Amino acid sequence: MSTEYKYDNRRKNNSYSKYSKGKKNYGGSYYKPSQGRGESDSFKSGKSAKNFKNYRKKPYQKQSRPVKNKPSVKIAFLGGLNEIGKNITMIECENDIILVDCGMAFPDGDMLGVDLVIPDFTYIEQNQDKIRGIVLTHGHEDHIGGLPFLLGRVNIPIYGTSLTLGLVGNKLKEHSLYNESSLNRVNAGETIKLGCMSVEFIHVNHSIPDAVAFAIRTPAGTIVHTGDFKIDCTPITGDMIDLSAFARVGDEGVLALLAESTNAERPGYTQTERTVSDSFDNLFRRAEHDRIIIATFASNVNRVQQIINCAEKYGRKVAFSGRSMVNYMAVASELGYLSVPENILIDLDMLDRYPREQIVLVTTGSQGEPMSALSRMAYSDHRKVMVGEGDFIIISANPIPGNEKTVGNVVDELLKKGCKVVYESMYEVHVSGHACQEELKIIHKLVKPKYFIPVHGEQKHLRKHADLAMFLGMERKNIYIGDVGSCIEINENYMKELPSVPAGKVFVDGLGVGDVGSIVLRDRKHLGQDGLIIIVASLDVYDGHVISGPDIVSRGFVYVRESEGLLDEVKQVAGNILEECAENNIHEWGIIKNRIKDDVSKLISQKTRRNPMILPILQEV
């Protein structure tokens, strides 16, 4: 009969010392229950000692304790990477999602007829039940311009500083969304709770007041998002950037840093905004006998404040031109971010009541936008302002990449009219609101992140920022350079790329949102380059023979009176195809139209080396 043995937890062995007080002891020895608590008879008889040793040789299977999975956080980039503008980032942890910003972008030159570009919101709509809120870094269009289009589809609470929400509120009123929206004011230095995450608002300097960065604390770790920033020790309004907050968050431990890369190519530091104030002072003296017109971004409240200060100093009245300029200044003044002396502002209709040398006109159009106030002045299309000799025009902005040509065209038109024009490459009339390399280094050193993702910039900016991080000692494997639609998962142990999420560009054309795609843009470009030929014919409903036509209409292709012979040939080719199809009982209009397109295109290409759009229109009678 075999002897039964049980496990005795009373006797300790050396393995216990590895466990802290209160932990379960997995050490012990075997004993025979019949022997009670005394010494086992295995040690009393030599013949049983061998059996006891055999039991000792059997390995004891230690109980495995369940390993808790480390929490992780997902970051999806729906815009702002490999492009300028359209900034929007999605941060997801457990079952909660936060959106950072929701901006728009200006259309490229080949996006014919497109007014603006917004992000694709498909992925947001798919996950709307998880979204706890949108936090906004500041009030520039590339960070808030997409909000009306998103909130028209998904109602999400919005959190931002006072000026940012004031500007957002104006936009929502224009789209009749204000009453249905939830706008929640948060001051810099405060923290809000959104699901399992908390968001600390950190004051930063930028070209617009009330800009903030975020320390987003998640169960997986803290993520720092800088937004747009610079380090300005002498800001026009507000305090210097809160570097102590960045340092405190860095000392607590930061899982990932998302930092803007706009000026990552530029060495040194970004100049203080007060540099522009000195330049304005010199130019106001130089333009003593001229009317001064200054074009700048409508959102650059600090710049406009300096213009108003100079106007007061030199006894000039100030008027605003451009709808966005008027709206921005009204909000900034109402909220106390713009200090306007009494009786200095005048309406645009009152310009003729004052001598030209007593006027400063602040206008939109620093990027050469076709419908902006300055562009309409340059092309004599402004209803209230005519420019010419005696006008001193200052363009207080740098062209956004891609806008250099349009800005140059506006400058040329102004010079042709006899205006004096000053721009950034001639005089220090603009400083950037974005951090250069030395400022970026300071943030990296203060935050000390485990992982780094450069954001807000084209590929060259992102790459340069990644190089800077490696120069500071970060390993390449801990840096991620993404694209629009990229999605990553990170925790303290790893960073890995996930499958891309739905993302891209949605074009806004007038009241249409998303109904203009790549095919429409291709057709517009085709029409603009080579024109259009319309071929109209009426066919017998019974046998398909031509009753009238074909008639030829040409737009943007050739001047009809000088090309009647060519158009007659087009008419003959189209007529022959129609009759041939009728004789062969071909009544499928798709087949007939394609044959007309192919043969007419071949004829025109042989005769002119052009490729106009061919549009056959057939009707049965």
Dihedral sign, CA of 600, 605, 607, 608?
positive
Q: List Cβ neighbours of 562 (8 Å cut-off, separation of 6 or more).
A: none
Contact 281, 275 (CB under 8 A): no
Residue 110's CB is within 10 A of a number of other CB atoms, namely: 11
Contact 201, 212 (CB under 8 A): yes
- pTM for the model stands at 0.74
Higher per-residue confidence, 562 vs 371: 371
Q: Where are the domains of the chain?
A: 6-57, 73-268+433-504, 274-423, 518-620
Strand partners, 205: 230
Span 73-268+433-504: which CATH code? 3.60.15.10
What is the chain's alpha carbon radius of gyration, rounded to the nearest angstrom?
A: 35
**Distance between CA atoms of residues 346 and 320, nearest Å:** 8
Higher per-residue confidence, 512 vs 229: 229
User: From start to end of 55-95, where are the E strands?
Assistant: 73-79, 88-93
**Average pLDDT of span 447-458:** 97
**Distance between CA atoms of residues 400 and 367, nearest Å:** 7
Give helix 243-252 / helix 437-447 axis angle, nearest 10°: 40
Specify the DSSP class assigned to residue 420: E
Span 274-423: which CATH code? 3.40.50.10710
Question: At CA 437, angle to CA 431 and CA 443, rounded to 5?
Answer: 105
Contact 84, 401 (CB under 8 A): yes
- Which range, 188-192, 529-533, 606-610, is most confident? 188-192
Per-residue pLDDT tens digits for 328-346: 999 999 999 999 999 999 9
Copy the structure tokens of residue 118. 């917004």
Q: Which amino acid is at 249?
A: V
User: Tell me, what's the pLDDT at 5?
Assistant: 37
**Distance between CA atoms of residues 588 and 582, nearest Å:** 10
Per-residue pLDDT tens digits for 199-210: 999 999 999 999
Question: At CA 378, angle to CA 374 and CA 383, rounded to 5?
Answer: 75
**Average pLDDT of span 120-140:** 95
Average pLDDT of the residues of the chain? 83
User: Tell me, what's the pLDDT at 420?
Assistant: 95
Long-range Cβ contacts of 349-354 (<8 Å, 24+ apart): 349/384, 350/319, 351/319, 351/384, 351/385, 354/317
**Beta-carbon-side half-sphere exposure of residue 265 (alpha carbons within 13 Å):** 9
User: Tell me, what's the pLDDT at 7?
Assistant: 36
User: Tell me, what's the pLDDT at 563?
Assistant: 62
Residue 235's CB is within 10 A of a number of other CB atoms, namely: 18
Copy the structure tokens of residue 366. 């620093």
User: Tell me, what's the pLDDT at 584?
Assistant: 76
Contact 249, 200 (CB under 8 A): yes
Specify the DSSP class assigned to residue 384: S
Contact 533, 570 (CB under 8 A): yes
Residue 414's CB is within 10 A of a number of other CB atoms, namely: 23
Q: List Cβ neighbours of 609 (8 Å cut-off, separation of 6 or more).
A: none
Q: Are strands 73-79 and 487-490 parallel, antiparallel or unpaired?
A: antiparallel
Q: Which amino acid is at 121?
A: F
User: Tell me, what's the pLDDT at 88?
Assistant: 96
**Distance between CA atoms of residues 82 and 481, nearest Å:** 9
Element (H, E) at 19: none
**Distance between CA atoms of residues 429 and 276, nearest Å:** 5
Q: Which amino acid is at 7?
A: Y
Range with the poorest average pLDDT among 74-88, 203-217, 243-257, 415-429 = 415-429
Of the candidates 368, 379, 353, the one whose C-alpha atom is nearest the C-alpha of residue 295 is: 368
Strand partners, 29: 8
**Average pLDDT of span 487-498:** 96
* H helix and E strand count, the chain: 16, 27
Per-residue pLDDT tens digits for 169-179: 999 998 899 99
Domain 518-620 in this protein, CATH class: alpha beta
**Average pLDDT of span 476-503:** 95
Q: Is the pLDDT of residue 215 over 90?
A: yes
Q: Is the pLDDT of residue 39 over 70?
A: no
Copy the structure tokens of residue 592. 């007939």
The confidence band for 63, taking pLDDT boundaries of 50, 70 and 90, is low
Edge to edge, the sheet with strand 212-218 lists 191-194, 197-203, 212-218, 221-225, 254-260, 449-455
User: Tell me, what's the pLDDT at 565?
Assistant: 72
Per-residue pLDDT tens digits for 216-262: 999 999 999 999 999 999 998 889 999 999 999 999 999 999 999 99
3-state SS assignment for residue 16: helix
User: Tell me, what's the pLDDT at 95?
Assistant: 93
Buried b vs exposed e over 133-153: b needs ≥16 C-beta within 10 Å? Answer: bbbbbbbbbbbbbbbbbbbee
